[in-house]
Chains A and B, each alone.
Chain A
């Protein structure tokens, strides 16, 4: 069953912050985040494992709350290059690999100057 992402779309001005949520009805072991620019392949951002850890690089970070079966992606002081569609992928079993990863429907992020 696909995880549910919210919002479906968001429009921001450069420098503003954004939060993208990913919720599952099933218990999760890991959550994977990808970004896809229009007409391109998805690119890996980060993976979060069971344990509630928060990860990040540059001004993009994420948290994972396995009790609530959800993850949130935080984009701080957004840049034009952050525009694209963000996908979360969830894995219910205790594996780190990409096997049987189930992706959400995506959140389209538009950053305007």
Chain B
């Protein structure tokens, strides 16, 4: 089954404790992206990746890091989480980006993160 898988789905942590949210897709998609969703603000892009070893900042990258060492995986790293990073996080992938393909995004199920 074609899917984007995120882990963990739910996490409660404390300020400053490094954490990683994993994202994996099995559709051989080139493009992957991370979004955070907050009430009244919609989906805001954190980072995106056009392909392996190619990443770039989205609209709200502060406090986050990403890496793309393999095509299927795109982990989101919070080096020192703070309470303002409490949010619902979505990973998404698309077959192509930058002028090719339909641009349809396939989203993971979401990871709800609470930072105390």
Interface residues of A (CB under 8 A from B): 2, 30, 32, 34, 40-44, 47, 87, 89, 91, 94-106
Question: Measured between C-beta atoms, what is the minimum distance from A96 to chain B in Å?
Answer: 5
B44–A97 contact, CB under 8 A? no
Give the distance to chain B from A13, nearest Cβ to Cβ, in Å: 26
Q: Is the CB of B59 within 8 A of A96?
A: no
Q: How many A-B residue pairs have CB under 8 A?
A: 78
Please tell me if the beta carbons of B97 and A95 are within 8 angstroms of each other in the complex: yes
Query: B98 and A95: CB pair below 8 A?
Result: yes
Question: CA A98 – CA B100 in complex, angstroms?
Answer: 10
Contacts of A104 in B (CB 8 A): 42
B113 within 8 A of A: no
B: interface residue count bin: 20 to 34
Given A95-B97, A98-B92, A104-B42, does the pair A44, B48 have CB atoms closer than 8 Å?
A: no
Nearest-CB residue, chain A, relative to B40: A105
* Listed stretches B14-22, B72-80, B101-109; interface member: B101-109
- CB-CB under 8 A for A101 and B45, given A42-B90, A96-B102, A96-B103: yes
What does DSSP make chain A's interface, helix, strand, loop or mixed? loop
A98-B50 in contact given A103-B43, A104-B42 (Cβ < 8 Å): no
Contact indicator A97/B43 (Cβ below 8 Å): no
Q: Is A98 within 8 A of B103, CB to CB?
A: yes
| CB-based contact B48/A100 at 8 Å | yes
Say whether B48 contacts A97, CB under 8 Å. Answer: no
Residues of B within 8 A of A99 (CB): 31, 48, 50, 97-98
Contact of B105 among A94, A95, A96, A101 (CB under 8 A): A101
Q: Which of B44, B101, B103, B107 meets A42, CB within 8 Å?
A: B107
Interface: B2 (CB within 8 A): no
What is the CB-to-nearest-CB distance from B99 to chain A, in angstroms, rounded to a whole number? 5
Q: Are A47 and B103 in contact (CB under 8 A)?
A: yes
